[in-house]
Structures are given as structure tokens and as C-alpha cells.
């Protein structure tokens, strides 16, 4: 089974991808993992990517697609894979389709969109609190510290990261919506899009995911 998972920050797609990958015994593949692996192996494309990363620049699409091509056509992905958060744009999706055509590889079976209302995402992410000393992360709603504002493990003062502030989360969501709305339409037109309500309990979300994919649970 060859899948793409995408969704806004905080929808829990990474958790669901990890769980499904373990059940189906297929790799969970992210662009970050592909980049780190290629740099570590010192491949030609990996060295190109390293140059951009070390200079603080975004790795161009053609390099990312080339790395994805190497990964997805390798033995590890022969039984299937879950692409986690990639492609992010229509241009990347079109390039990925060309990879399938040029290599004779089977195309995607499903593209899963994990949907959560923006106000809930903002609450999920802005409720995080972290300890700068021991890196423990809490949530004011469903995993609060025993003493408000203090870490259970080391007693350090908890802080809210800049990335987790409501205004920052809202800005990230706007960017995500702008990027992915065309991508949703792209895959919907091809009959590949599957939507999963990602609100509520993690186990319930997983059951919904299995249902849309036509899979049995464990």
C-alpha cells in the first residue's frame, strides 16, 4: 500500500502514520528523514542537499524529488510506504507523478487528509508547555503538571515556545491552507483523496483511518 498523509500542524498525522506503518510493516517516509539519510550516506544528491542545508537555504524541489525517487524505488519501499507530509504543493505532486511514470513504479493508492478545525488545532498547540531544563513537554488540558507552571521531573519553570503561541500557530495554519487547498483539489480530481476526522481520541481516529483505507485493525 502506497500512501500520502497530510494535514495541518497538530492534527496528529505523524502519530497515525507511525502506528499504521508498524501494523502494515511498511516504512514511514518524511522529507526530513530522506534528507538526513542521504547526507549521512554521502550520496551525490545528499551532498547537494547538505550544501543548501548548511547555508541555511531551503533544499530545492528538484533535489528533494530526486531523493524521494531514490528512496521510493529502493528495496525498503517495495511493499509500500507512507509519505508523511510530502508532497506539500501541486508542483511537488506533479513531479512525484512523473517519477512513477518514468520508473514504471505503481502510483499512489490513497492520499489521506487528516482534518481538525483550526480553533481546535490552535488550542492543541498553544496549550503546550515545555521545560527548558529537561525538555519534558506538558499540555495544560490533557497532560498538565502536578504544580501549575512547574516541571514534575526537575521543578523547572515551564515556558510556552514561540512556535506554540496562538498568533504563531494561526499564521502557520494560514500558510498551510494556502499551500494545500490546491493539493486537495489535485488529488480529489484523481479520485485518491480520503478524509479522516482527526478530532477526539487517538484510538478512535485510528479506527476511522483503517475504515477509509479498507483495513482491519489489530
Asked about 172 being catalytic, the answer comes back as yes
Distance CA 137, CA 70 (A): 36
Catalytic residue among 36, 50, 88, 123: 88
Catalytic residue among 36, 123, 165, 172: 172
Catalytic residue among 36, 50, 161, 195: 161
Catalytic residue among 2, 19, 124, 128: 128
Asked about 129 being catalytic, the answer comes back as no
Q: Taking a C-beta distance cutoff of 8 angstroms, is the pair 4, 108 a contact? A: yes
Cβ burial of 119 (10 Å; 0-12, 13-18, 19+) is exposed
* Residue given cell 483539489 in the structure block: 185
Asked about 211 being catalytic, the answer comes back as no
Q: Taking a C-beta distance cutoff of 8 angstroms, is the pair 113, 143 a contact? A: no
Asked about 88 being catalytic, the answer comes back as yes
Catalytic residue among 13, 69, 129, 208: 13
Asked about 123 being catalytic, the answer comes back as no
Element of type H or E holding 40: helix 31-41
Strand pairing category for 81-84 and 110-115: unpaired
Distance CA 127, CA 142 (A): 9
| Residues tagged active-site | 13, 88, 128, 161, 172
Amino acid at each position: 500500500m502506497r500512501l500520502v498523509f497530510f494535514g495541518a500542524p497538530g492534527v496528529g498525522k505523524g502519530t497515525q502514520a507511525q502506528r499504521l506503518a508498524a501494523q502494515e510493516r511498511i516504512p514511514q517516509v518524511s522529507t526530513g528523514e530522506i534528507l538526513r539519510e542521504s547526507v549521512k550516506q554521502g550520496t551525490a544528491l545528499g551532498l547537494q542537499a547538505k550544501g543548501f542545508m548548511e547555508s541555511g537555504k531551503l533544499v530545492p524541489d528538484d533535489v528533494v524529488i530526486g531523493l524521494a525517487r531514490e528512496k521510493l524505488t529502493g528495496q525498503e519501499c517495495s511493499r509500500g510506504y507512507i509519505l508523511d507530509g510530502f508532497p506539500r504543493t501541486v508542483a511537488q505532486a506533479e513531479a512525484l507523478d512523473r517519477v512513477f511514470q518514468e520508473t514504471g513504479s505503481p502510483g499512489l493508492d490513497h492520499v489521506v487528509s487528516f482534518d481538525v478545525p483550526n480553533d481546535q488545532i490552535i488550542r492543541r498547540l498553544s496549550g503546550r508547555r515545555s521545560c527548558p531544563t529537561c525538555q519534558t513537554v506538558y499540555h495544560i488540558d490533557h497532560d498538565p503538571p502536578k504544580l501549575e507552571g512547574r516541571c514534575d521531573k526537575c521543578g523547572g519553570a515551564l515556558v510556552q515556545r514561540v512556535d506554540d503561541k496562538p498568533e504563531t500557530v494561526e499564521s502557520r495554519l494560514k500558510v498551510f491552507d494556502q499551500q494545500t487547498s490546491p493539493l486537495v483539489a489535485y488529488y480529489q480530481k484523481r479520485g485518491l483523496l480520503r478524509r479522516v476526522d482527526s478530532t477526539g481520541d487517538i484510538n478512535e481516529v485510528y479506527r476511522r483511518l483503517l475504515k477509509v483505507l479498507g483495513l482491519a485493525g489489530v
